[in-house]
Amino acid sequence: MGEHPEEAASFLDSVMEKVAEKLPGHDSSSSDSDDEKSKKPESKKPEPSSISSSVKRLFGREKPVHTLFGGGKSADVILWRNKQTSAGVLAGATVMWLLFEWLGYYLLTLICHVLILGITILFVWSNASAFINKQPVRIPQISFSEQLFQDVASALRFEINRLFTVIHNVASGRDLKKFLMVVAGLWILSVIGSWANFLTLFYVAFVFAHTVPVLYEKYEDQVDAFTFKAMDEAKKHYGTFDAKVLSKIPRGPLKDKKF
């Protein structure tokens, strides 16, 4: 008789399990978890393009270097898309620098000699073409429009006025940081100018303009990361200098003068 209650209990348990299996909500936790796992979107790894687009660029630019230089033939020359043309331009500038710097040529003398040579060749060819049954060279007539000079003068006037505006803002004493930056920049230019004459400085700047952009385009990720790191360090040092020195300089209130 003692075994009957145990058999009855096991029988009831088996019946309850079968009934529970037939119910629609059976094993909802496991099925829900499986469904949620199947429904959850798999985490996608960021694509290299999205990573590169999220990198901070100098001056907040979003366009490639080639587009910033105009995207035309001039950009191709500066970024060495056409190596023969870029090398020819650089070689021509080097020859000009050698003529002026080493051979002692002057600009006016060089222009006159080039014009004399060109005019002589054209004159001789035009007169000799009748004897050798050749057509004379067609010399194009060059003329500049009045609108071109007006556009150049307008652009030059705008840049000069902007320069005077910057000088006025710096000299008025309203921005100490800008004042220190301008003074430091002018002092650096004066030191560089004492090393060589204007022609050599112009040639060095020309060489930099034809080498630095192409190197930056090749290593722009490394250069941008290093530059932003250096800028952060410079801001920290400037903040310390401002707190310890500049903030203690007494400055009176600025009042606009009325004339």
Q: Which tokens in the block code for residue 216?
A: 């930056």
Determine how many CB atoms are found less than 10 A away from the CB of residue 196.
13
pLDDT of residue 7: 55
Domain that holds residue 182: 145-195
Does 187 map to a domain? Answer: yes
- Name the residue with tokens 């990573």: 51
What is the C-alpha to C-alpha distance for residues 119 and 112, in angstroms, rounded to an integer? 10
Q: Are 252 and 173 in contact (CB under 8 A)?
A: no
Give Cα 51 distance to the centre of its chain: 18
Does 215 map to a domain? Answer: yes
| pTM of this prediction exceeds 0.75 | no
Distances (CA, A) of 68 to 34, 65, 71, 132, 212: 52, 5, 7, 51, 14
pLDDT of residue 12: 56
- Name the residue with tokens 């000088």: 167
What is the C-alpha to C-alpha distance for residues 125 and 119, in angstroms, rounded to an integer? 10
pLDDT of residue 48: 37
Residues 211 and 98 in one domain: yes
Does 185 map to a domain? Answer: yes
Q: Are 55 and 220 in contact (CB under 8 A)?
A: no
Residues 94 and 208 in one domain: yes
Give Cα 228 distance to the centre of its chain: 13
What is the C-alpha to C-alpha distance for residues 173 and 117, in angstroms, rounded to an integer? 56
Task: Provide the domain count of the chain.
Answer: 2
Q: Are 213 and 68 in contact (CB under 8 A)?
A: no
pLDDT of residue 139: 77
pLDDT of residue 106: 84
Residues 190 and 74 in one domain: no
| Contacting residues for 47 by C-beta, under 8 A, at least 6 apart | none
pLDDT of residue 13: 64
Residues 189 and 231 in one domain: no
Residues 171 and 212 in one domain: no
pLDDT of residue 38: 47
Residues 214 and 236 in one domain: yes
Does 81 map to a domain? Answer: yes
Does 79 map to a domain? Answer: yes
> Which helix (H) or strand (E) is 113 found in, with range?
helix 107-128
What is the C-alpha to C-alpha distance for residues 102 and 231, in angstroms, rounded to an integer? 40
10-residue averages of pLDDT along the chain (259 residues):
51 59 48 46 41 57 77 84 90 90 84 92 84 76 86 92 87 80 88 84 90 88 85 84 74 50
pLDDT of residue 11: 59
